[in-house]
C-alpha cells in the first residue's frame, strides 16, 4: 500500500526471487479479487509456458486465501 494525500494505492506484484524481476503486477485503489485474477492473466500472457510448475509465495492475506485465486493457481 502506498498512501497518497487522501487515498491509497495497492500494489500486487509477482516477483522472481532469483532475478528480482517483476513478472506481473496490478495496482489500484482497492484490494479486490479481480485485480489478483487479472494479474494472473497478465502473468500467463507475458510468460506462457515458462510459468508451468512455478511456486508462488504470498503474505497469506485474505485475497490470496480466496478459493477462486487458489483454484486458479
pLDDT of 55:
75
Which pTM value belongs to this model?
A: 0.72
CA atoms within 13 A on the CB side of 59: 8
Distance CA 31, CA 8 (A): 10
Question: The C-alpha cell of 56 is what?
Answer: 508462488
28 - beta bridge partners?
Answer: 10
Largest CA distance in the chain: 41
Q: For residue range 28-41, what is the model confidence (pLDDT) as tens digits?
A: 888 788 888 898 89
Q: For residue range 38-65, what is the model confidence (pLDDT) as tens digits?
A: 988 999 999 888 888 777 777 666 777 7
- What are the boundaries of each domain within the chain? 2-72
Distance CA 23, CA 5 (A): 29
Amino acid at each position: 500500500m502506498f498512501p497518497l494525500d487522501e487515498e491509497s494505492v495497492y500494489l500486487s506484484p509477482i516477483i522472481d526471487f532469483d532475478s528480482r524481476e517483476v513478472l506481473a503486477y496490478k495496482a489500484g485503489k482497492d484490494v479486490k479479487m479481480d485485480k489478483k485474477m487479472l494479474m494472473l492473466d497478465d502473468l500467463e500472457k507475458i510468460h506462457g509456458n515458462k510459468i508451468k510448475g512455478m511456486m508462488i509465495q504470498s503474505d497469506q492475506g485474505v485475497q490470496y486465501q480466496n478459493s477462486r485465486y487458489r483454484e486458479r493457481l
